[in-house]
């Protein structure tokens, strides 16, 4: 693991790191914020998964999470959203697929199956590296994310309820198997058999019996993707039917941007902190 940069912030350290990833077969960059409490011992860890077109840097630069993370003594890990590099297949003119749009799945279709293994990277390889290299308590993990990353957070938590004590999302894609901007990506990554998509669809996972204690979701009412891509009411219906707790906050006038995310970031970190104590 190489250290790209380190900076002091709110008494803690914001670092950026790079390593050669076995799962994605390319160098991967990620950010870690360690709060000042990490100097005295291991701290809880909160994973943040970003959305389409993003890298590790979007939330690091715009998310305004460090003050709350330092206050609550929580480490924040921000991975990249896809493999990258000259050998990684891509569709440069398609922002909804390829580099910056890994959708947190392990591709099974050529040529994407060689590199696009973000599910294994996020759930296996990167946690092992973070546990080895940083003073984090892997018995106290939470996960959250935005848009495509909200989809990733929900599906990973539902598949690994024993691992995570908290899960929340900003404007998540709650049913990617039917959303226009995610169906083409799932087809290219996972094939035409939609049964293979269910592991990566929060509403389908709940319908198939997967459970998580409770979710927090914030969604802007002025989000241009609300009605066609995000549709939080589908998650609300699924959770109600399954008896899963859901706090769904419809935020009047907010859009899909980091202005929205940064406004409610403190709420999500406080939510996680209550459950990671």
Residues carrying an active site annotation: 147, 223, 256
Q: 120-142: buried (b, 16+ CB within 10 Å) or exposed (e) per residue?
A: ebbbebbbebbeeebebeeebbb
What is the β-pairing status of strands 26-34 and 75-79? antiparallel
Q: Kind of pairing, strands 26-34 and 12-21? A: antiparallel
Phi, psi of 89 (to 5 degrees): -60, 145
Q: Are 180 and 229 in contact (CB under 8 A)?
A: yes
Whether the Cβ atoms of residue 214 and residue 245 lie closer than 8 Å to each other: yes
d(CA 60, CA 163) in angstroms, rounded, equals 24
CA distances from 254 to 46, 60, 112 (A): 24, 20, 35
| Helix, strand, coil distribution of the chain in percent, nearest 5 | 40, 25, 35
């Amino acid at each position: 693991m190489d250290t790209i940069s380190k900076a002091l912030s709110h008494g803690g350290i914001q670092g950026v790191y790079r390593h050669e990833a076995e799962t994605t077969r390319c160098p991967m960059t990620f950010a870690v914020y360690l709060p000042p409490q990490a100097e005295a011992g291991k701290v809880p860890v909160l994973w943040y998964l970003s959305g389409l077109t993003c890298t590790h840097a979007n939330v690091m630069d715009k998310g305004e999470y460090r003050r709350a993370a330092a206050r609550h003594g929580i480490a924040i890990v921000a991975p990249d959203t896809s493999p990258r590099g000259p050998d990684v297949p891509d569709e440069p003119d398609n922002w909804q697929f390829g580099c910056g749009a890994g959708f947190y799945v392990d591709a099974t279709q050529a040529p994407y199956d060689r590199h696009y293994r973000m599910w294994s990277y996020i759930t296996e390889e990167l946690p092992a590296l973070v546990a080895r290299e940083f003073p984090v308590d892997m018995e106290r993990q939470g996960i959250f994310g935005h848009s495509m990353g909200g989809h990733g957070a929900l599906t990973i938590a539902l598949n690994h309820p024993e691992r995570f004590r908290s899960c929340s999302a900003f404007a998540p894609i709650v049913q990617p198997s039917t959303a226009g901007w995610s169906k083409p990506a799932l087809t290219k990554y996972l094939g035409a058999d939609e049964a293979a998509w269910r592991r990566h669809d929060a509403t389908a996972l709940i319908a198939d019996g997967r459970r998580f204690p409770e979710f927090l979701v914030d969604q802007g009412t002025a989000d241009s993707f609300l009605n066609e891509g995000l549709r939080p009411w589908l998650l609300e219906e699924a959770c109600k039917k399954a008896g899963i707790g859901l706090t769904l906050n419809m935020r009047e006038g907010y859009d899909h941007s980091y202005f929205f995310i940064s406004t409610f970031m403190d709420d999500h970190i406080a939510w996680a902190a209550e459950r990671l104590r």
